[in-house]
Amino acid sequence: MFRVILVEAALTIAARGWHVFPCRPDKAPYTLSGFKDATTDEATIRAWWQKHPDALVAVATGEVSGIVVLDVDSPEGHPGVNGFKGLKELGELPRTFEVLTPTGGKHLYFEHPGGHVKSRPVAPGLDLKADGGYVICPPSVGLNGREYKRVGNAVIAPLPEALLEAATQPNGRLETPPAGEPIPEGTRNVTLTSLAGTMQNRGMTRDAIEAALLADNRKRCRPPLPDEEVTKIAESVARYPAGQDSLRGGKRAEEVKEPAVLVSRRASEIECEHVEWLWEGWLPRGKLVMLDGATPASRSQRSRQTWRLACRADCRCRTARRDANRPAW
């Protein structure tokens, strides 16, 4: 019954114009290209959930779905990280479409402002999911057995000024106080995150960023944040590729065509293919096989032996298929 609810939920979400795709229990995509495969096509969605009936329902954020989501992490899901602290520093946000995550965090949905809005960190434990990102939707179930649940019935609000500023800054982060000036309480997390992003775009290592942030925190923050919290800021920013928002040659990084590269995938993302064996465990039908031997003569002999075995096995396979398809009368 719950499987039916999942596919129906995916279809309902798609009917809103939000592009969906299936994810594994660990939130990794089932599809080859992840959020790039997201769609609103009913036939495709039904086929996905027929193949993966327990799949989590994921939505591609950004202009494709017309939404931006503020992902607020909780200490339960991310030990040592508390996105709610950074949320307070953003000031009062408008009431909007809200989802409670299985680990006690929040997803706050806002209208996409148009144009290209890069997914990026705003503060430790506080990420903006926009173009190039995705979130898991209700009624999907987390690894701890709890559901993603919608909270209240508020409609999606426009992206607030504080987040809009972060989304449209040239370097993608909020404007920081001039160098050397004090950083007052209420802006410390956001300012240090912005500084960390600037340093990362200049090619600084994670350790160098952490050392610089710790020094700035002690000299400029009023009062200074705990060292552990500053370390978390450095770790949070270091998760993102360096230079992702930089300008090159008058164009944004996303507009510059890069040469094709070989992309690795986790073994858990690769689905096992059914193999028809000519020689069980040794010789698959229609596949390439590498034979090895100590000398050229031994390799030739092994090849001849394998060929004879393959011919006999192929004959048996053809006979078995012919007998299986023969009418029963």
Tokens representing 24 are 């594994």
Instruction: Read off the pLDDT band of 190 (50, 70, 90).
Output: confident
At residue 140, does pLDDT exceed 80? yes
* Stated pTM of the model: 0.56
Collect contacts of 250-254 with beta carbons under 8 A, ≥24 apart.
252/116, 254/116, 254/118
Q: pLDDT value at position 219?
A: 86
Collect contacts of 34-40 with beta carbons under 8 A, ≥24 apart.
34/134, 35/60, 35/61, 35/132, 35/133, 35/134, 36/60, 38/64, 38/65, 38/134, 39/14, 40/14, 40/15
At residue 84, does pLDDT exceed 50? yes
Annotate 154-187 with three-state secondary structure: CCCEECCHHHHHHHHCCCCCCCCCCCCCCEECCC
Average pLDDT value for residue range 96-110: 94
Residue 68 and residue 115 in contact, taking contact as beta carbons nearer than 8 Å: no
Q: Quick one: what percent of the chain has pLDDT higher than 70?
A: 68
Highest mean pLDDT among 83-97, 231-245, 268-282, 300-314: 83-97
Burial class (CB in 10 A: 0-12, 13-18, 19+), 24: middle
Q: What is the DSSP string of 285-326?
A: TTS------SSHHHHHHHHHHHHHHHHHHHHHHHHHHHHHHS
Q: pLDDT value at position 178?
A: 60
Residue 84 and residue 70 in contact, taking contact as beta carbons nearer than 8 Å: no
In the beta sheet, which residues pair with residue 56? 23
**Among all chains, which residue has been given the structure tokens 């300008």?**
247
Instruction: Tell me the pLDDT tens digit for each residue of 144-160.
Output: 999 999 999 999 999 98
Q: What is the DSSP string of 50-116?
A: HHSTT-EEEEE-BTTTTEEEEEE--TTTSTT--HHHHHHHT-PPPP--EEE-TTS-EEEEEE--SS-
Tokens representing 329 are 């009368």
